[in-house]
Structures are given as C-alpha cells and as structure tokens.
Amino acid sequence: MQKSPDRHTFLRCLRPLLLLLSVWYSSATRLHAQAEFEQRLTLDQIQALMNEGIFQPDLRKQALAWYHWAIYDETQTGISDSAFQYLAKSMDRFGKAKDSLGFYRAGMDLADRLAERGFSDEAIRMHQAALGYFQRSNNLYLETHTLARLSKIYLANGNADLALIAKRKFVDKNKVLKDSVLEVKLLMDEAMQSFYQKKYSNARYTASRALRLAEQCNYTYLANDARTAIGRFCVLEGDFKTAIFFLKKAEAEAQRANEPQRHDIYHYLSKAYAALDSIPLAYEYGLRYGELTDTLLKREKEMTLQRLALQFDTRQKRAQIQSLEQEKRAVESRAQGHRLTAAALAVALLAVSLAMFFIIRDYRHRLHTDRVIASQNEELNKRIIRELEDSLQIETMRSMLAGQEGERRRIAQDLHDSVGGMLAATRIQVESVLAKYAQLSNNADLVKVKALLDDTVSETRNIARNMQPGALMEFGLAKAVQDLTSRIYGESAPNITFEHFGDTREIDQTVALNSYRIIQELIQNSLKYAKSKEILVQITRTEGQLALLVEDDGIGYDPATVRKGMGTDNVANRIQFLRGELNIQTAPGKGVSTLVTIPLEHQGKP
C-alpha cells in the first residue's frame, strides 16, 4: 500500500525534468537549423549539396543549396537578380518538403529583395507571416531579426509610425537576445535611408555610430562597410579629403580580405581624386574600378555557366531515366505481342505479317544504332587527336623551356666558375702588385684598370645571378623578384616598386621559375623601351590563382603597329605552358600595364 504514493511522487519529480529536456531538444534543433543558413559555403560545397539533393532525392537539401547559391552569387558579384530567382526556388522546395522554418527563413531574404524592387506591400505581408510563425515557435532570434527588417521597410515606405513601433519591439527583444550585429545592420539601414532622402549629414553621423559599434565588437566586414558608406556620404557632401581618409582605410582592409567592397571603394576614390584635380590617382582608381567590374561580371558568367551545366546534367539524367522507362514499356509491349502471336498460331498469314514487321523494324533499329555508334566513334577519335596534339605541343614547349633553363644554368655556372674565377684571380694579382709597389697606387691608369676590373667582376656576378636566381630556389618567388628589382638602380634607372600579397613560398617550382622569367622579361622590356620613371611590380597569390602585374608610366605603344620580338614570344610561350592568361593595357603616352593570371590548380600537370 505504500508503494503507490512513492511512485506518484517519483512521477511528479520526473515531469519537470522531461519538460526541461523537451525544451532543450527544441532549442538545439532550432540552433542547428539556424546554423545551416548562417554558414557560408564555397561554390564546390554548394554544388555537392545540390547534387545530393537531386540524386537522393531530397527536396530540403535542394532548397538549402538554392539558398546558399543566392547568397554566394550576390556576395561574389554584387548582382542580386539571380539571388532573387534562387531564393524563390528555395522557398518553393522548402514548401514542398514541408519545412516551415526553412520556408519562412528564405522568405525573409526574398521579402527584402522584393522591397528593394518597390514591392513593399508584398514584402511586408511576407515578413508579417514569418513573424507570426517565429512567435508561435518561440524563435527569439528570427523574431527579433524580422522586426528589424520590418522597421526598415516601413521606414523606406514612408510609414514612420509603424517603423517606430517595430523598432521599439526590436529593441525590447534585443535586450534579451543582445545581437550587436543586428544593431550595426539596423544603423546602416537608417544611414542608407537618410542617404535616399539626400540627408547626407544625418547619414554620415549614423554610419559613424555603426562604425564605432562594429569596431568595438571586432566585426571587420561590417566596420569596413561602414567606412565605405562614410566615404561615399563625404563625397556627396563635398568633403573629399575626409572621404579619401575613410575610403583608403576601407581599401586597405578590403584588399587584405579580398572583399567585393573594393568595387564601390574604387568608384568613390576616383570621384574624390577627380574633384581634388588629382587626375593620375583618379585615373588609376577609375581603371581599377573598370577592371574589377569586368572581373565581377566574368565571375557571374562563370557561375551561371556552372549552374547551367549542373541543370543540363540533371535534365540529361532525367531524360535517361525516361528513356529507360520507355524502353521498359516497349519490352513489355513486345512481350505482350509475342503472347498474342503464340495464341494466334492458327492465323498463319497474320503471324507471318507480324514476323516481317518486327524483322524490318529491328533491322532499321540496328542500322540507326550503327550510324549513331559510328558518329560517336568518329567524334571520340577527333577528340583523342586534339588531346594528343595539345599534349605534344605542351611537351614540346616543356622541352624548349627546360632546354633554355638548362642552358642558362650552364652559362651561369661557366660565368661563376670560369670567368668569375679568372677575374677574381686577376683582381687579386692587381691588388698584390699595388701592395708590392706602393708607388703605383697613385698611377691613374692602373687605378682605372682596377676600378674597371671591379665593375667587370660585379657585372659578371649580376649576369650569373640573373641567369640562375639562387634566391628563387632557396626563398621562393617573392624574395627572388624582390632581389631582382633591388639590383636595378642608378641615375638613369627608373624607380621600381615591388609589392606582394599572399604566401608564394609553397608554389610549385616550375610555376615559380616561369613566373620569375616572365617578370624578368617584362621588366627588361620596360627598361629598354618604356622611358619610364616609375615601374610597379606586383605579385598576388589567392586560393586558386597567381597574378603577376608589371606597370610603367612610360611612353606606351600602339599594339596594332608594334611587332612582337623574341622576348614577347618567350613570355607568351611560358604563359601558354602554365595555362595562364595575358592582358595588356597600353596606348601611346599612357604607359603599359601587363597582367598575367596563372591558375594554381593546374600547376605541375602536363
């Protein structure tokens, strides 16, 4: 009789624990789902996720892939048209997968882009629907973010009262959430609203508050976004020196992180310098702005081609499945026909007619199949021949370049061991004679001979070093190029500035050596023909690419009238061997800018 109360007591104690575990599990599930949206995937990861979603099939994975593709495309290119379409596809698949959290989470981002295109009423309706769901599911994080976005749309739509109500609710919720990133973004939205109303002083003040908060919280990207905005507002106010101060800081941080913000930074720096009559700097940043615009458009084109290739591959596989199903149905149909034929053996004429029909059809099918196979074999043979020709050309180029480097090593070794040794011995002998006969130390001819001999030893050492750079083998590409540029000096020599970004020490030796020779040849061309006062040499290493830049402020030339020489052909052969690209910008009186880009994923491959 005493066991029953104990059992009830135990159950009463267990009930709160079960409730706590339920709440913890629900919170952990929401955090996991939120992390799926907040993380930033690479293009390869997005394509892998899309492939998994298509071939499993899994609608939720497809929806996530479209969502991340939208964010990636917009972030990398600054173009939101494709992002608008991808978010709509993401919502569609989340809805079909019955994933309400994903549906409303993607809807928030789609609503923001609708508001940007002037569809404020539809955007507000979508945000209110999402807000109701997040309130019902006790998702404080997304509820707070939705209120902040609603406040922004109301403000942009001219409804200050509703904007203030939404902002007060957001502030109350954020006291619990304490999301400083959201506060920074809200301040930037207010700054942009002032900008749209042409209240540039208010916009500048609000952006400065956002900058201080972002710097306090170490949000590098948001802080740089605020610096760019402040520089933009200063340009519009006419405070060009302050604009240049903030934009230069933003440029330095954007170059370090390789951020797409550089596009706007270059644009407004060009306008600020132009307003201050600094025409060379305005032209330089205008040129960078144009080049970066081309790069972003090229990147957008590449991503579109990859997406189309993936979609084509998917349609192809679906077509194969449909073809197999049709073949299955055809086989079943023939089997049924055979059964009917067996049942109708008494009707001989009909049986013969059916047999002739199938024989003729099969014969035509075999003829068609043979033609298709022959066409495919012909195409395959042509592709093999092209690949063999390309391989032979690359191997010939490899042998030629290897022969050149071998000859350079031999000549450098001969200069160092033979000519250098003889010159050194001669120099020692001259110094010995001067020491032995002190009265000769004042002989002007002998002093000139000694000075000429010292210059010859130095020049021989420089020639040997240029033909076989030891710094390249020991310290890497950047150190070798720095050593090369430091050895060019004199009253008539131009001022050479060398810059490098990224780690170049781990680059494949073949790529490094050919890159060194390319830069060496480009510098020699500038020294011979450009008549320049300044030369810029820049090496930039990114994740999958090596960029070599040589610029001068010389006389330039007309590419249509200048004949290519052996040096130019040598550069072109090395670039083709490395599977790189060459871009030359020049005109008479405009200097020469030569950019070589080399894909590092192919290094070391034939």
Residue 20 CB partners (closer than 8 Å, separation 6+): none
User: Mean of the pLDDT values across residues 392-400?
Assistant: 64
pLDDT digits (tens, 9 = 90+) for 34-83: 678 877 788 888 888 888 888 888 999 899 999 888 888 777 766 667 78
The pLDDT, as a whole number, for residue 549 is 94
The pLDDT, as a whole number, for residue 582 is 92
Q: For residues 128 and 166, is the Cβ–Cβ distance under 8 A? A: no
The C-alpha atoms of residue 396 and residue 547 are separated, in whole angstroms, by 25
Which among 495, 419, 486 is positioned nearest to 457, based on CA atoms?
A: 419
Q: How confident is the model at residue 172 (pLDDT cuts 50, 70, 90)?
A: confident
Q: Please state, rounded to an integer, the average pLDDT across all residues of the chain.
A: 77
User: Mean of the pLDDT values across residues 14-40?
Assistant: 54
Q: How far is CA 73 from CA 43, 255, 264, 306, 342, in A?
A: 9, 20, 17, 12, 62
Percent of the chain whose predicted confidence (pLDDT) is above 70 = 72
The C-alpha atoms of residue 522 and residue 550 are separated, in whole angstroms, by 7
Answer with the residue of higher pLDDT: 43 or 131. 131
* Tokens of residue 190, six digits: 């207010």
Percent of the chain whose predicted confidence (pLDDT) is above 90 = 11
Q: For residues 578 and 511, is the Cβ–Cβ distance under 8 A? A: yes
pLDDT digits (tens, 9 = 90+) for 420-477: 566 666 767 677 677 677 666 677 666 667 677 776 766 666 666 666 666 677 778 8
The pLDDT, as a whole number, for residue 331 is 65
User: Mean of the pLDDT values across residues 380-384?
Assistant: 80
Sign of CA dihedral 187, 190, 195, 196: positive
pLDDT digits (tens, 9 = 90+) for 290-336: 776 666 566 556 656 655 555 555 555 555 546 656 766 776 777 68
Is the pLDDT at 497 greater than 80, yes or no? yes
User: Mean of the pLDDT values across residues 193-206?
Assistant: 84
| Amino acid identity at 67 | Y
Whether the model clears a pTM of 0.85, i.e. scores above it, the answer is no
